[in-house]
Amino acid sequence: MEKELAKAELEIVKEKIDAFKDDYKGKRWGNATISLYFAFEHLIKALLASSGIEAKSHEGLKILFSMHFIKKGAIHPRIGRYLGNLYDRRVTAEYSPLRRSEFTEDEVKIYFEWVKESFKEILPLLKKNGINVKNLHSIDKISLK
């Protein structure tokens, strides 16, 4: 069951990365931020699932990710900070329509780098847990030009 859930989460990751690319090309910076956050969240959900852990909420996700991976030294603490910061920006993009214009291309590029760095730390752990991550390595090949 854990592997099926992890694989399902990774399908969502791929969808969100595709949505991010479309939003980025369309200069929809708020939407691009939202898509990046959800790609990141579902990647972490896949990691948790591959370890037999299921989060029921964003708060639970943060706690479980920290407890099982960051505090044990498998993931650098900055990855947890990226998740928290990107979550806050996602909430602003989604629920504060008057502030959507504050999102910029430069900001989204920073978030994309955070997510790429996070993928580099998380994908080997998924692979170690027996999850096929071959299709997700292509995030390094995405050009934001």
DSSP conformation class of 143: -
pLDDT at 137: 65
- Average pLDDT, integer, range 48-65: 94
pLDDT in tens, 14-41: 999 999 999 999 999 999 999 999 999 9
Q: Which pLDDT band holds residue 49 (cuts at 50, 70, 90)? A: very high
102 HSE (CA, 13 A, CB side): 9
pLDDT in tens, 92-127: 999 998 888 899 999 999 999 999 999 999 999 999
- Average pLDDT, integer, range 40-68: 95
Among 9-18, 52-61, 114-123, 130-139, which stretch is predicted with the lowest mean pLDDT? 130-139
Mean pLDDT of the chain, nearest integer: 93
Walk me through the domains of the chain, giving residue ranges and CATH numbers: 2-137 (1.20.120.330)
- Average pLDDT, integer, range 30-57: 96
Q: Report how far residue 105's alpha carbon sits from residue 32's, in angstroms, rounded to the nearest whole number.
A: 9
Q: Which pLDDT band holds residue 64 (cuts at 50, 70, 90)? A: very high
